[in-house]
Homo-oligomer: A and B are copies of this chain.
C-alpha cells in the first residue's frame, strides 16, 4: 500500500537536512501568493528548520521574519545558526538563500519554560462560536487562500467590483475577526501557528476598499502557548483578530492576536507592510 499523502502544509514546509546547519526545501504551488509564496508558509518553513535542528532547546518564544526579496518557484536553501545557548533560552538566526541571494532572514528565541503565575491582560473577543459562522469563499485566483477555511465575523475580503470612488475619504475600519484553520484540517503546531499569523489580508484592502499592491516586509510573532496547548487545540479553528495602526509614506503596520477555541491567547503578532498608492 502506498503511504498516505501528507498534508499540503507538511509537503510545503518539508526540509532535507543537508550539511551541518543547512537544509534544502522547495516552494509549493499550493501556497503560492500573487507573486512568490505566501509569507506565512515562508515563516513556517524558517521556524520549522529550527524545530528540526538537533541542537534545538525548548519551544518557540519569539520569531521575526524579514522578507528581503522575492522567492521564486523552486528550490531554496536554509542556513540555521545557533547564535547563543543559555540555560533556559536559545537564540537563532536563519537565512533563506536562493540563486546566490538572501531572500529572507529570521531571528528566533526558543525557551525552556517552567510554570509560573500567569494571566491574560486583554480580553477574548466576544464572538459566535465557529460552528455558527459560515465559511467565506475567498477569491480562487490566490492559491494559498484555498489552504485555509476562513469564517469571517467582520472585515472579510472587500468586493473590489464595488470599490468606492477615488476621492472617498471614509475611514473604513481595518479590523478583521475570523475563525480560521488549515483546510483540510490539521492538528495545530508551532509552524502552522506561525503561518496563521500571516493569513490576514493586507489591512489597506479594508481601509481603502480597493485593490492596492502590498507585501509584508517584516513580521514578528510572540508565542504565548506551549506545545501541549497547541496539541489540545487539535484541528479546531482558532480565532484571529487583526487591525492596522498607522499608514504612512508607503508602509503600514498590523497588530494581531490568535486565540484558541477555549479562550487562551496562543500568539500575538505584528507586521510592517509595503503598499503602493
Query: Which of A60-68, A188-196, A233-241 makes up part of the contact surface?
Result: A60-68
Contact yes or no, A111 B250, CB < 8 A: yes
Q: When the two chains form the complex, which single residue of B218, B224, B270 contacts A109, counting CB atoms closer than 8 Å?
A: B218
**Interface 1/0s, chain A 49-71, versus B by CB < 8 A?**
00000000000011010101100
Q: When the two chains form the complex, which single residue of B88, B89, B249, B270 contacts A115, counting CB atoms closer than 8 Å?
A: B249
Q: Could you tell me how many residues of chain A have their Cβ less than 8 Å away from some Cβ of chain B?
A: 63
Q: When the two chains form the complex, which single residue of B103, B115, B121 contacts A244, counting CB atoms closer than 8 Å?
A: B121
Contact yes or no, B62 A107, CB < 8 A: no
**Interface 1/0s, chain A 75-119, versus B by CB < 8 A?**
000000001101011010101000001110101010101111111
15 contacts between A and B (CB under 8 A): A64-B220, A66-B109, A83-B102, A84-B101, A89-B217, A91-B102, A113-B249, A116-B276, A118-B247, A121-B243, A121-B246, A220-B270, A222-B253, A224-B253, A253-B268
A residues at B contact (CB < 8 Å): 61-62, 64, 66, 68-69, 83-84, 86, 88-89, 91, 93, 95, 101-103, 105, 107, 109, 111, 113-122, 171, 174, 203, 207-208, 217-218, 220, 222, 224-226, 243-251, 253, 255, 257, 265, 268, 270, 272, 274-277
